[in-house]
Amino acid sequence: MSESAKRPFDFMRLRKPASLLSIVLVVVAVVLLATRGLSLGLDFTGGTSVELEYQQPPQLDEVRATLTDAGYDQFVVQNFGADTLVLVRLAESGNDKLAEEITAALMADGDQLKLVSSEFVGSQVGDELKEDSGLGLLIALAVVLVYVGMRFQFKFGIASVVPLAHDVIIILGVFALFQWTFDLSVLAALLAVIGYSLNDTIVVADRIRENFRKLRIEDPEEIINESIHQTISRTINTSGTTLVVLLALYFLGGEAINNFALALIIGVVVGTYSSIYVSANLLVSLGVTRDDMIVPPKEGTGEGDEEEQPPEWLNRM
């Protein structure tokens, strides 16, 4: 193909170095998870939840500073339903006395507030959450495998699920490395990353399938490379605009959603990389060919799907 020789960047030329990089990152992430583990938040470890009502909306940073000065180290402070309602969650197991101590410590600064309620969550609930969250991630990956296998072809299903697992493991590895708190908001971010990365991978896979049917090129690597070039502008634009929003969330959204935004930022960067290299590498390694794209003839006709036109939304990209 004459145009491909003029391409400014040959993605598939870096296929093997990219594969080595992915393997190294995943192995390091697994080692970090096995040795350091995740710094689990109160959602998973249990603790005491104290709900307070202020007369005037408080500055959450000042509330955190007051609790730190009072000797509390593991806690989460966030608004709860209204600007004047504050939820304080502590890793300590406690009772009404602990809630009263928290209230007294915060009132010592002159703030007018009252204790609304306090509740203790045991570690058993946290253990159930860990099991359910892990099961939820596995089910999500299994559903993706089935969907893509039915929508495209089984090789495409494998090439879609492995990058998703790759992205999730690397994000978990980064959280284990820096010991950032892993709570339910980060778990929600992981599920969002799965959806985001899958969307990118499906767009590339759809173009690869169409090009296998339309282009008279025998080399699968060249077809995949051409498909990536046709979709790369869309991928970069989508990732770039998403990152702008996530960076705004991280810097302006407050401490309560910092880790959520961090997980998504890492996921968007790694997911963009994996949709280009991990997925494409797997298709080449699995030996995808034009024969895999052949659709069985329609009943009553001798014609297959060779002349099927690409979807209209794909042509506009």
* Helix runs in the chain, H state only: 2-5, 15-35, 42-45, 60-69, 96-107, 123-151, 154-178, 184-214, 220-252, 258-276, 278-285, 312-315
pTM exceeds 0.95:
no
The Cα 227–Cα 188 span in angstroms is 31
Predicted confidence pLDDT, tens digits, the chain (317 residues): 444 445 557 888 888 899 999 999 999 999 999 999 988 887 777 788 888 999 889 988 889 899 998 888 878 888 877 888 998 888 776 566 888 888 888 888 777 888 888 887 766 556 677 778 778 888 888 887 887 777 777 888 888 888 889 999 999 999 999 999 888 889 889 988 988 888 888 888 888 888 888 877 778 888 888 888 888 988 899 999 999 999 999 998 877 788 999 999 999 999 999 988 898 888 888 887 777 666 555 555 444 444 445 455 444 54
The 3-state DSSP class for residue 109 equals coil
> Pairing mode, if any, of strands 181-182 and 39-40?
parallel
Which candidate, 183, 184, 202, places its Cα nearest to that of 194? 202
Find out whether 206 and 314 touch, Cβ atoms under 8 Å.
yes
Name which of 218, 203, 193 is nearest 314 in CA terms. 203
pLDDT tens digits for 2-31? 444 455 578 888 888 999 999 999 999 999
Give the number of other Cβ atoms within 10 Å of residue 184's Cβ.
14
Nearest to 267 by CA among 207, 187, 178, 183: 187
Helix (H, G, I), strand (E, B) or coil at 206: helix
Residue 295 DSSP code: P
104-105-106 Cα angle (round to 5) = 90
Residue 294 DSSP code? P
pLDDT at 295: 58
- What is the DSSP code string of 126-148? HHHHHHHHHHHHHHHHHHHHHHH
Dihedral pair phi/psi, residue 115, rounded to 5°: -80, 120
Report the pLDDT value the prediction gives residue 21, as an integer from 0 to 100. Answer: 95
Nearest to 235 by CA among 278, 285, 264, 197: 197
State both tokens at 248.
Answer: 């705004």
Distance of CA 197 to the CA centre of its chain: 8
Q: Give the C-alpha separation, 310 to 312, whole Å.
A: 6
Q: Pick from 223, 102, 108, 209: which is nearest to 156 by CA?
A: 209
Tokens of 265: 């930022």
Q: Which tokens hold the place of 154?
A: 């089984």
